[in-house]
Structure 1
Amino acid sequence: MTDDAPVSRRPLWRRITGSFLFQLCAAFVVFGLILSFVAKPYWVPSGSMEQTLQVGDRVLVNRLAFAGGATPHTGDIVVFDADEAWDGGARTPSNPLTAALRWIGEVTGFGPSGPHTLIKRVIAGPGQTVRCCSADGRLIVDGTPLDEPYVFQDFSFQPGTLDCTTTPVSPRCLPEVTVPKDSYLVMGDHRSNSSDGAAQCRGRTDPDPGCWRWAHSAEIVGKAVVILWPVNRWSGL
């Protein structure tokens, strides 16, 4: 005996949500939300953070590290969008191919991560005073010399021969400055090869607020927490 009962069809919403195209779009949306609000990869473009980070390293940036009132601290490695004070500031590529490659790099971390996105180490935050140098050539924050074992190839400093009292002055020397509100002084670990927040002030002892460059709170993307690639360099930061 033949069963001629009609076959029930799945509801429309189930057919839509069960389709490959819908699931692919949903995956892109979730991926985009993660990149926008949780974490994203970043491609290290220069040697300014050697030896901590090498050119071409891919690091994971925690975008939630400074959520809920949390702020960067001395020693944190942060990624931030630089303003016009940093060698021309943010630039939008005019070439469509370059713009597309930058977009892919920003999404995947395998390529340039933004028009002018930098990665540096936080030295001091709002209201803190910074100067250089102590008698043994160290940065001084709020009167206390910093212990910076991560610094690579610093500028020359020889007490009594090339320091902040001699002529010429050591390029390691910096005039005292108080970090402005909602700003951070950031430097590269490869001090002698880093166009960082103090680069234009080096070798000076006279106060000049105009020579400093800042990473502003609103422009900080997040905190670099781990090296993702290459595999042989997997490590926390």
Structure 2
Amino acid sequence: MTTTASTPARRDRWRRISRSPLAHLLLAVIVLALVQTFVIKPFQVPSESMSPTLESGDRIIASRVAFGLASPGPGDVVVFARPDTWGPAPERGVLRTAVGWIGDIVGFGPSNQDALVKRIIGVPGSTVRCCSAQGQLEVDGQPLAEGYVFNDLPFTPGVNDCTTTPVSPRCFAPVLVPSGEYLVMGDNRANSADSVIACRGGPATAPDCARFVPRDDMIGVVVAIVWPLNRARVVAPG
């Protein structure tokens, strides 16, 4: 008799919970968190290094499933967690960390994830160098047509190139990309602290002058700018 009487009571209790605005909000947060963990995640562009493709402050969407369907490839604009070799993460206070924790869950506001955005130039096993006689970046001996590059470093054939003294700051010796890692650069080439910033200006001063991005640190490929509205558009690979 007790069991029979308690069953309707339990049903009424769950019915009240399911109709509660707080329960709806909690469910929405859980769904949003799952979507950002496995499907897509919004980010805010932290610097001008990808200008004009991406401007500082742009809100972008990164696809997490893209790398499940295919490996990161040359020309992809990617979001990645700052590797340890790229320097320490910025320090944050308790309040800022708490706000960032909320932002990481809902996808809006500040984030605690120290994420960077660059373009993939070299994939595992490829060799990247600069420059060709015309000042072009080369991958495996082939010059790249980089229509997305803005504000490149100075290079004048015969006057300020890779054979003159001093050499052009655009130049760097061949860099072999290790297995499982990627070489990335910014489209705003002269204002980008990227994979080869320590290698520029001539022969590498050390065999490990380049810093790479491990595959495990790749978060997703940028697919769109969603804010501000006047810049909203799809971001295609280069």
Query: What is the TM-score with the length of structure 2 in the denominator?
Result: 0.89
Equivalent residues of 2:40, 2:65 under 8 A apart: yes
Give the counterpart letter for 2:65 in structure 1.
Answer: L
Q: 1:31 to 1:186 in 2, by over 3 A?
A: same
Show structure 1 runs of 5+ residues with no match: 1-7
Secondary structure of 1:212's counterpart equals: coil
d(CA) in 2 for partners of 1:22, 1:109? 19
Equivalent residues of 2:48, 2:54 under 8 A apart: yes
Secondary structure of 2:216's counterpart equals: helix
Equivalent residues of 1:80, 1:118 under 8 A apart: yes
d(CA) in 2 for partners of 1:169, 1:29? 55
Equivalent residues of 1:76, 1:121 under 8 A apart: yes
Q: How does 1:27-176 map to 2 (within 5 A)?
A: 27-68=28-69, 70-88=70-88, 90-91=89-90, 93=92, 95-107=93-105, 110-176=108-174
For the aligned residue pairs, the C-alpha RMSD in angstroms reads: 1.9
d(CA) in 1 for partners of 2:44, 2:104? 8
Q: Indicate the percent of aligned positions where both proteins have the same amino acid.
A: 49
More helix as a share of residues: 2
Equivalent residues of 2:132, 2:143 under 8 A apart: yes
Deviation at 1:19, TM superposition (A): 2.5
Show structure 2 runs of 5+ residues with no match: 1-7
Number of residues of Structure 1 aligned to a counterpart in Structure 2: 227
Equivalent residues of 1:58, 1:110 under 8 A apart: no
Does residue 1:234 correspond to 2:229, yes or no? no
Give the counterpart letter for 1:184 in structure 2.
Answer: Y
Does residue 1:213 correspond to 2:207, yes or no? no
Give the counterpart letter for 1:131 in structure 2.
Answer: R
Deviation at 1:108, TM superposition (A): 5.2
d(CA) in 1 for partners of 2:207, 2:41? 34
Secondary structure of 1:79's counterpart equals: strand
